[in-house]
Amino acid sequence: MDLLTIPDAAETLGVPVTRVHQDLRDGHLVGIRDQNGLRCVPALLLQDGAIVKSLSSVITQLRDARYSDSEIVDWLYRSDDSLPGTPIQALRENRGSEVKRRAQVAGY
C-alpha cells in the first residue's frame, strides 16, 4: 500500500497541511502510521487532486460501527468478491452506493 505523508497529501490535494489535518479530524480522510511512526494517508484515498467521492460517508458509517482508522483502511483494501475488487477500487470507480451498503452491514 502506497502511503503519502501529510505534506505530500496536502500537495496532491493542493491545500495547506492544516487542511489535511482538519480532513483527518472531520472524518473526510483516515490516516495510519508508517513503519517510522509518521501519520500518513493511503494514496488511493486521493484521486485527481481530491478526496475520493463518497469516502467520507463510508468512513462515518465504519466509525459509527466503532472501527478504528487502521481497521477502516484494512476494510477499504480488503478484497470483496461481491463488488468485485476492493471497496476503495469501487469508490474510485464511482460505485459508492455499493460500498456504502456494505459498510452499513459491516458494523452489524
Where the chain has pLDDT below 50, the residues are none
pTM of the predicted model as reported, rounded to 2 decimal places:
0.92
Chain centroid, CA 7 distance in Å: 17
Three-class SS of residue 53? coil
pLDDT of residue 31: 96
Q: What type of residue is 103?
A: A
